[in-house]
């Protein structure tokens, strides 16, 4: 992840460390550590296409925290600011995960980019049964 920290190192590293701690001990559907198997891969995609956008890179690391951990919107807002918290909330699934109602919630360019990176990465996981 060294390349992700090249610019805006301190704030990106803060998001990385926070998300790694929150996702610790979680596994993906294939038994791999969720943080490295998915979260870091989404952040790599974002860094590849939007390397100058620290808000988007931070949000990539944090994008699954509200729905997959006990992290709240307010906790993200207090640690990373409104822009990051709002973006994480924009891509957070609420309600019935089998319905897949994401697109009506997406309303910013950053949100669309982040959700497409998330979906693209999930599509690469062979045998993934995750329908989020």
pLDDT digits (tens, 9 = 90+) for 51-101: 889 999 999 999 999 989 999 999 999 999 999 999 999 999 876 666 655
Q: Is residue 31 part of a domain?
A: yes
The CATH number linked to 12 is: 1.10.3210.10
Q: Residue 107 pLDDT > 60, yes or no?
A: yes
Q: Is residue 37 part of a domain?
A: yes
Q: Residue 104 pLDDT > 60, yes or no?
A: no
Q: Is residue 22 part of a domain?
A: yes
Q: Is residue 130 part of a domain?
A: no
Q: Is residue 18 part of a domain?
A: yes
Q: Residue 129 pLDDT > 80, yes or no?
A: no
Cα–Cα distance for residue pair 44/69, rounded to 1 Å: 21
Q: What percent of the chain has pLDDT over 70?
A: 80
Q: Is residue 132 part of a domain?
A: no
Which domain covers residue 64, as residue numbers? 2-124
Mean pLDDT in residue range 15-20: 97
Q: Residue 126 pLDDT > 50, yes or no?
A: no
String of DSSP letters for 73-128: HHHHHHHH-HHHHHHHHHH---S-TTT---TTT--SHHHHHHHHHHHHHHHHSTT-
Q: Is residue 108 part of a domain?
A: yes
Cα–Cα distance for residue pair 13/2, rounded to 1 Å: 10
- Asked if 83 is an active-site residue, the reply is no
Instruction: Please count the structural domains in the chain.
Output: 1
| Annotated catalytic residue, options 28, 29, 53, 67 | 67
- Asked if 3 is an active-site residue, the reply is no
| Annotated catalytic residue, options 29, 68, 75, 86 | 68
Q: Is residue 14 part of a domain?
A: yes
């Amino acid at each position: 992840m060294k390349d992700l920290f090249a610019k805006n190192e301190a704030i990106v590293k803060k998001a990385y460390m926070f998300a790694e701690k929150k996702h610790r001990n979680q596994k993906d559907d294939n038994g791999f550590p969720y943080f490295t198997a998915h979260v870091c891969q989404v952040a790599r995609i974002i860094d590849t296409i939007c390397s100058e956008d620290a808000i988007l890179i931070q949000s990539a690391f944090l994008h699954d925290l509200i729905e997959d951990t006990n992290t709240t919107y307010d906790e993200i807002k207090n640690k990373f600011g409104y822009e990051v918290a709002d973006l994480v909330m924009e891509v957070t699934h609420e309600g019935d995960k089998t319905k897949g109602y994401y697109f009506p919630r997406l309303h910013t360019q950053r949100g669309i980019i982040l959700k497409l990176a998330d979906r693209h990465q999930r599509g690469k996981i062979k045998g993934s049964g995750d329908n989020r």
